[in-house]
Each structure stands twice: as structure tokens, then as C-alpha cells.
Structure 1
């Protein structure tokens, strides 16, 4: 019996080591803004992206879309999760202890919340505003 336990333990260690060495424990990163947009357009080819905000750790991208919706690209293991979000569907708040952070409440059982860190507090505030239910139309009125 002790020999069987040792064999199973060694087998588990070998499998974990092989998975790790072949890149199975690698976490996906978004190379740049263009890569985030390209990845999002694979799942949502009919949308037009106005602007992309890439997190400093390159695991998240928030996309401002032409129709007023928001796009999300989030790294999950070696893959990416993409979401098309209506304004007000998720809640975003500026981080309390870190002004460059955004806390996102998704309302999704599989991904209930996220904390994204951006380059600076101005970018974080811009991202928070994208999730606001009320759309600021001041610029649109001036252009008309």
C-alpha cells in the first residue's frame, strides 16, 4: 500500500511538471491595444471600436464602442473572455486605496468581479465613466 501511494504521488508530480514545462501554466497577456481590438472583433465582428484602454498588467482591455456600448477582453488562463456590455449593465468604481484601479461588479456567476489596474488615475476615471448608465452627450450637442 505505501508503494502504491508513492507511485501515485510521483505520477501526479510528473504530470504537473510536464504541464508546467509545456506552457500549460502560462497566463495569456494582451500584446497591445490593436491585439485587444483584434481579439474582440473575432467574437463581435459587427461592432466599431472607438478607443481601447489596456490595463498595465495586459490582462484586461476595456473598449469604448461607437454605439455607446462597452467591450471587455479578459485573460483567463491561456485564453480570452470577451463580453459586449450595455451601459449600466455592470457597475464600475474607482479603487479606494489605488486611484489607478477600477473595481468592476459584473453580475455574472462565472466572473462576478474584477479589479483592473490602469496606467494612471485619469485613465481609470475614464474607464469608470464608460460603464455609467447615463451617456454624456455634451460633446455630441456641441458638434451638431
Structure 2
């Protein structure tokens, strides 16, 4: 599956703007490219108007997900801070649900660090906590953070 290099550039631009460096959550370009080469990873880009970018138009938000038998895991979801609180994350979650169902997913999964403010967004969209991993993440400074796992039944 080929992905336009400009789409990778768009993903990376949003990721650099959206993820705080102190948590080390942003992926590097190689990680994104490798995930997309696997064939079971998918992405969606949105402009600030909530549409797919055209031409050289920049993205304001994206998600990256991975499909496995009857499950789709949300790997990354990011909205450029300049474009937050405009409904882009909700539109991405809706798009993820629709596309995951078309691939045969019956549930969505995601994992995040404890204390991530995005937890409110996911709970508002029907994700419920199903587990935690104590001291799972390590920040660039060496601090250990718990991971929380969420699920949403969609099929």
C-alpha cells in the first residue's frame, strides 16, 4: 500500500505540534512509515475545516490505527493545538469507527498514559477503561507512568 510522502509530512507536522516532548509520545517518521508499510495500519487526515487535505493543503489533525481480527487499535490521534476545540477529534473518532467497522472490527481499543487530558474525550465518545499497566511508559527523563487501556464496542 503506497502512502503519499506529503501525507507522511502532514502527519509529522501535526504530531510535532500536538505532542508535548516531556512525555516522549510522538513517533518519529520511520515509525510512522514502518507502521503504514505493514498493510494493516490506516490513517485519516483532516484540515482545519474538517475535510481531507487537497494538493499542498496542510492537515490540522490525524489518526493512525491498526486492524487485527475484529479489533482496531487507535495508535495515535492528534490535533494541532491551534485547531483544538473545533470538533476535529470527534470527527476523527467517528471516521475511525466507520472505517474500522468496514474492515470487520467489532471493538476499538486504545492505550494512553494516566493523566492524559484526552481521556475525557474518549470517555465522552463511549470508550470505557478495561485495564492498566503499572509503570508501563518511560518518559525521556526516566519517569515511569501507568498506561490505561480503553475499549469501545462498535459491532
Q: Fold conserved (TM > 0.5)?
A: no
Please say which structure displays the higher CA radius of gyration: 1
Higher strand fraction: Structure 1 or Structure 2?
2
- Structure number with greater CO (CA < 8 Å, separation at least 6) is 2
The TM-score, its normalising length taken from structure 2, stands at 0.28
The TM-score, its normalising length taken from structure 1, stands at 0.29
